[in-house]
Amino acid sequence: MQKNGTVDSKIMTHHQLQTELVRCEYCEEKPCKEACPVNCSPFDFMMAARVGNPSDIKRAAAEIMLSNPLGGVWEEGVVTGMSGDGVTPISYHTLANGVPEGIEISGNGGPMTYKAAMDFLALGVKTVQFCTIATKFGYGIIRDLESGTAFLMQERGISSMKELIGIAQPHPITDFMALSSVKKISDFNYNLCTSCGNCARCPYLAIELDEQGRPHSDPARCIGCSICAKKCFTGAITLRERGAEELALLVEN
């Protein structure tokens, strides 16, 4: 993007930019935001790129400058209510147990993406409330929620909201004590891998890159936590069952 808001053709054509914007808009987890050290807003940059308005670009850049840990500025702390991404797992568990009791529930507390809202609906609520996401990104987020939901429903062959509501019931979650004690191991699709090295940050030091930059998992260290798979930008990492030799190599202390 150039200073005047136009696309630099040496980096990306206008058509390529629009294609990437659509991919970003329908992205479920916004890994770019999670990976960004200054927690910038992808919505601001999508708007800046789509509209090309210098004021939007300046606003998006200002957000980075304000939070940049190298800029000598310490951002203001704000005390807010208990909501947003942090409480989503709690809400999932509550809804999974509450809906089967026949209670009419309007889901709230946690959803910050269309995928999280669809998870709420799949658990059986008939409406989903939003507060934090609208406060943070504005009412324009409604369009993103609608388009994202329509996209995923089409991808999964769900024809109506009536079909979506409660689709995960009656057994949406597996009790912790019912989980298998056998640890899986990470596996890699090198056709999707871009050799970014993000997975090599494994907290168990179980993944190393070879000379070609391709990741390999150490069966003696990998405990199957799935963090690498969740954080892979391209979906190149999955978990699979261990072979007999791999199973014998894992020693947990």
Of 164, 194, 224, the one marking the end of a domain is: 164
Q: Could you give the maximum distance between any two Cα atoms of the chain, in Å? A: 60
Average pLDDT, stretch 213-227? 94
Residues 34-89: tens digit of each pLDDT: 555 555 566 666 666 566 666 665 665 565 555 554 444 555 555 555 567 778 88
Beta strands 215-217 and 207-209, pairing class: antiparallel
Question: Which residue bears the tokens 């993007």?
Answer: 1
Co-location of 203 and 229 in the same domain: yes
Distance, in Å, from the CA atom of 198 to the CA atom of 232, rounded to the nearest integer, reads 7
Residues 123-164: tens digit of each pLDDT: 999 999 988 888 878 888 888 899 999 999 999 999 999 999
Average pLDDT, stretch 29-37? 59
Q: Is the residue at 175 inside a domain?
A: no
Q: What is the 3-state secondary structure (H, E, C) of 2-53?
A: CCCCCCCCCCCCHHHHHHHHHHHHCCCCCHHHHHCCCCCCHHHHHHHHHHCC
Co-location of 215 and 239 in the same domain: yes
2-6, 157-161, 176-180: least confidently modelled range: 2-6
Co-location of 93 and 159 in the same domain: yes
- Residue 165 Cα to chain centre, angstroms: 22
Domains contained in the chain, number? 3
Co-location of 148 and 203 in the same domain: no
Scored b (16 or more CB within 10 A) or e, 223-247 reads: ebbeebbebbbeebbebeebeeebe
pLDDT: which is higher, 154 or 25: 154
Q: Is the residue at 123 inside a domain?
A: yes
4-13, 76-85, 94-103: least confidently modelled range: 4-13
Co-location of 89 and 143 in the same domain: yes
Check whether the bond before 54 is cis (ω within 30° of 0).
Answer: no
Co-location of 100 and 152 in the same domain: yes
Residue 217 near residue 206, CB atoms below 8 Å: yes
Residue 236: give the domain boundaries.
Answer: 180-249
Q: Evaluate the CA torsion angle 215, 216, 221, 226 in order and state its sign.
A: positive
- Cβ atoms within 10 Å, residue 4: 8
Distance, in Å, from the CA atom of 210 to the CA atom of 104, rounded to the nearest integer, reads 54
List the structure tokens of 26: 């329908």
Distance, in Å, from the CA atom of 95 to the CA atom of 137, rounded to the nearest integer, reads 26
Overall pTM surpassing 0.75 (yes/no): no
Co-location of 198 and 131 in the same domain: no
Of 140, 164, 188, the one marking the end of a domain is: 164
